[in-house]
Chain A
Amino acid sequence: MSLVLDGLVKRFGSVTALDGISFEVPKGQVFGFLGANGAGKTTAMRIVLDILRPDAGRATWEGTPTTDVARETWGYLPEERGLYPRLAVLDQLVFFASLYGIPRDEAAKRATDWLARLRIPDYATRRAEELSKGNQQKVQLIAAIIHEPAVLLMDEPFVGLDPVNVALLKEAFEEMRQRGSTLIFSTHQMEMVEELCEAVALIDRGRLVLAGPIREVKRSTGRRVVRLALEGRSLDAPDSIPWLGSIPGVRIARTGQDYAELDVPNDVDPEIVLRTALAKGERVTNFLIADPSIEEIFIDRVGRPVSSEEERHLAGPAAAPAAPTAPPAPTAPTAPTA
């Protein structure tokens, strides 16, 4: 009983946006859909919502093709936020709810309730164009969840929100999850994934890199990470821990101002690092054993960090002209986004 993407292929002219993507989202989970801009996330979401049709493959929800699933099953917060600029907030929420079959009075009641919960009750009669971007984003979230969907798909929901609103959004997430909704959100903010998601799928240039529960994904890397801080020592260079060479397979993966993160293969006991440090007379101020971060896994698998891919995308050449696209950066040519 889940959302299944099975061999999805989508091409826009000469650009392949999705190249045989397959993964499964268990019902009731919070699921992270990861990848840089242009990786294929938005295209996959649009196919699930039947806004786009795949060239091959199919998407199913509880065994039924998503094209045949009742629309009220889905809630959708697209990456490109949009509201009717001159329509009052309450009127547009009632309109969106009416498209899902919610009676107008019930829709108005729910909208008022959500506006209060997201701390913008006074904006019900204001026109959308009078609201700040953050508050417009809250209204768009309400539009996506007002009909209490079974599956909520959100494309980069945290982009553009200040910390207070991020916290509010997380509260709304939690409430939806407790009610039994399946939450799927795309992001390239890896810390959000670490904090919120139970499972992830990572795609790159239209191809699935990995998918599964976060714990399994992390363990599948075959290594762990040790964070080490030593008193009176600066660890900002790869060769700043000379005794590390005596432990086979362990290497410095990353350094901070006063700490280093070490890659430790699965067949090496991480505690040997601690024992060796103490044996060498070091005073250890921080020693932490952890799984690799999703960011590290991304870099491992894709060969570059998410941000560099995003920068490449924004500065890159135009893609196929006929591709349905998200809007480009103000001066950048259009390219299919995902």
Chain B
Amino acid sequence: MTAQPAKSGFAARTLSNIIAVARREVLARIRTRAYRFTTVILVLAGTGLALAPTIIQLIDRGSAGDRIEIVGGETLPDFDPAAAFQQLLNSGAGTPTLPLPGQDVPARYTVVAAPDVAAARQDVIDDKATAALVLARGANGDLTFELYSNDGAVSRTNQLLRQAAISLTIQDRLSRAGVPPIDQATLFTPPSFELLPADPADSGRPDPSEDPGAFLTGFGLSIAIFMAIILYGTWIAYGVAEEKSSRVMEIVLAAATPFQLLAGKVIGIGALALLQYVIVALPMILVLAFQSQISQLILGTPPTPADPGAPSLTPAISIGMVLVFGVMLVLGFAVYASLYAGAASLVSRQEDINQIVAPLTFISVGGYLVSTYAGTGLIPLDSPVVVVLSYVPLFSPYLMLTRLATGTAEPIEAVVAIVLLALTVPIALWVAARLYRSGVLMYGQSPSPRTLWRALRAE
């Protein structure tokens, strides 16, 4: 009845053992309330975040914040100043002229005429209106404005009102000078103004303000990878510590190698993480993609950009970019997760995990911060630090994505970074397995560089 040695040692069942360990990890975790609860919370939070523009508008619509009261409308006998201000404000005051008849402008501000200054000011004090604007004419015939508001000069509404007032004043002057409204629109048409690099061979230093959508893409993808590595890397670390503290490790190690156990754990938890990630990301992507339609459905109008100059919330992401992101996510996760597991195997208590994985977390945060600074223009994207780090495996998942998204890296550079990262995976697994082999049988010792070194050298 006894088993006969058909194949040699641990190696005989590497793949099947990795699958068995991964399967156990998935089944054990997917059934837990914690996993399901976290998934639901993340889906709600993610979807809520994606819906934020529409939700904010929905909330704003019901509040008095959009209401502006105009006093002294009779100062402009030729047209209704309340309607004019409403159009100017709702167009974002991005254009200095009134929209042409028939032009559809989403209503964000409601501007109404008020009978007297005292009543309008009282409405502002009572929070029934955001601001009260009093129009009059000065001795030289020009319009004058007094704005009563609870907000400061830098508030967005007050800024928009100021711009709208300037536009209205210029149009009033033109009207008084006899220029018809249709000619006024022509007068304000922007001229052709082209920015060209001094050196034709150089496309110029990348500037976040040139293509904020691209920067947002790189920035967003870096955040996504950072979140995955920190969140799910911690899962792995805690999983290892739990296995160690429950003393089940030694039984498993008699049947499977540290490498098999480690690889199975990384793959199992990685698959579970990816599943949760997809479950959370899918509704977010759908909401972002169909923001206009959803907004139309809820508000009756498409969402208004927070600022006329703001980038689109759904920057274009190419298939290649998605592929690079996917590969970087999987490989980056594999490297970090392996090292998290190896490090966690050195501690006996879950309380010590944060201490032992701190160096890895610092590296991860470092890569993320450099990526963020580069993405927002605080560090030039073509600086040597960014370029070199974008090839270094522990940093490349963050930085190469940012460089690629902003067009400062060629596809071949991304391929090189991916190859280097892929080569790092077996090295990370090897190092982690060495740590694991010694670490999982180590109890009662405080983690230190010396412990780490001994574990790496131990046979």
Closest to A91 in B: B27
User: Is A327 close to B, CB under 8 A?
Assistant: yes
Shortest B29–chain A CB gap in Å is: 10
Are B3 and A51 touching (Cβ within 8 A)?
no
Are B256 and A99 touching (Cβ within 8 A)?
yes
**Interface size class, chain B:** 35 or more
The verdict on A86 contacting B28 (CB below 8 Å), with A148-B3, A180-B2, A321-B445 known, is yes
The verdict on A69 contacting B5 (CB below 8 Å), with A87-B28, A328-B444 known, is yes
Closest to A101 in B: B13
Are B2 and A181 touching (Cβ within 8 A)?
yes
The verdict on A70 contacting B251 (CB below 8 Å), with A86-B32, A322-B442 known, is no
Residue from A86, A101, A150 within 8 A of B4 (CB atoms): A150
User: Is B290 close to A, CB under 8 A?
Assistant: no
Are B250 and A334 touching (Cβ within 8 A)?
no
Contact residues in B for A76 (Cβ distance below 8 Å) = 250-251, 254
Are B251 and A55 touching (Cβ within 8 A)?
no
Contact residues in B for A322 (Cβ distance below 8 Å) = 438, 442, 445, 450-451, 454-455, 458
Most chain A CB within 10 A, of B1, B2, B248, B444, is at B2
Residue from A69, A95, A325, A328 within 8 A of B9 (CB atoms): A69
User: Is B75 close to A, CB under 8 A?
Assistant: no
Contact residues in B for A96 (Cβ distance below 8 Å) = 251-252, 255
Binary per-residue interface labels of chain A (45-58) against chain B in the complex, 1 for a CB within 8 Å, 0 otherwise: 01001111101000
Whole-angstrom distance between the alpha carbons of A322 and B13 in the complex? 30
Binds A, one of B16-24, B175-183, B399-407, B408-416: B16-24
User: Is A71 close to B, CB under 8 A?
Assistant: yes
The B27-70 residues at the A interface (CB cut-off 8 A) are: 27-28, 32
Are B443 and A82 touching (Cβ within 8 A)?
no
User: Is B137 close to A, CB under 8 A?
Assistant: no
The A73-97 residues at the B interface (CB cut-off 8 A) are: 73-74, 76, 78, 80-87, 91, 95-96
User: Is A98 close to B, CB under 8 A?
Assistant: yes
Q: Tell me the dominant secondary structure on chain A's binding face.
A: loop
The verdict on A55 contacting B459 (CB below 8 Å), with A140-B251, A143-B251 known, is yes
Are A147 and B3 touching (Cβ within 8 A)?
yes
Contact residues in A for B438 (Cβ distance below 8 Å) = 322, 324
Are A80 and B250 touching (Cβ within 8 A)?
yes
Are B246 and A149 touching (Cβ within 8 A)?
no
Binary per-residue interface labels of chain A (132-175) against chain B in the complex, 1 for a CB within 8 Å, 0 otherwise: 00000000100110011110000000000000000000000000
Whole-angstrom distance between the alpha carbons of A73 and B7 in the complex? 10
User: Is A287 close to B, CB under 8 A?
Assistant: no
Contact residues in A for B247 (Cβ distance below 8 Å) = 78, 80-82, 327
Closest to A153 in B: B254
The A295-338 residues at the B interface (CB cut-off 8 A) are: 321-322, 324-328, 333-334
The verdict on A82 contacting B250 (CB below 8 Å), with A181-B2, A334-B445 known, is yes
Residue from A74, A87, A101 within 8 A of B16 (CB atoms): A101
Closest to B453 in A: A322
Are B20 and A99 touching (Cβ within 8 A)?
yes
The verdict on A51 contacting B13 (CB below 8 Å), with A324-B442, A334-B443 known, is no
Are A70 and B459 touching (Cβ within 8 A)?
no
The verdict on A67 contacting B444 (CB below 8 Å), with A78-B251, A85-B246, A143-B251 known, is no
Whole-angstrom distance between the alpha carbons of A322 and B4 in the complex? 36
User: Is A68 close to B, CB under 8 A?
Assistant: yes
Contact residues in B for A95 (Cβ distance below 8 Å) = 20, 23-24
User: Is A23 close to B, CB under 8 A?
Assistant: no
Are B445 and A68 touching (Cβ within 8 A)?
no
Contact residues in A for B442 (Cβ distance below 8 Å) = 322, 324-325
Closest to B260 in A: A99
User: Is B107 close to A, CB under 8 A?
Assistant: no
User: Is A215 close to B, CB under 8 A?
Assistant: no
Shortest A110–chain B CB gap in Å is: 11
The B422-458 residues at the A interface (CB cut-off 8 A) are: 438, 441-445, 450-451, 454-455, 458
Contact residues in B for A73 (Cβ distance below 8 Å) = 2-5
Contact residues in A for B13 (Cβ distance below 8 Å) = 71, 99, 101
Shortest A117–chain B CB gap in Å is: 15
Whole-angstrom distance between the alpha carbons of A110 and B256 in the complex? 21
Whole-angstrom distance between the alpha carbons of A328 and B455 in the complex? 20
Residues of chain A having any CB pair with chain B under 8 Å: 13, 46, 49-53, 55, 61-62, 64, 67-74, 76, 78, 80-87, 91, 95-96, 98-101, 140, 143-144, 147-150, 179-181, 321-322, 324-328, 333-334
Q: List 25 A-B contacts (CB under 8 A).
A: A49-B253, A49-B254, A53-B459, A67-B9, A68-B9, A70-B7, A71-B12, A71-B13, A73-B3, A73-B4, A78-B247, A80-B247, A84-B24, A87-B28, A95-B24, A99-B13, A100-B255, A144-B251, A147-B3, A322-B442, A322-B451, A324-B438, A325-B444, A326-B443, A327-B443
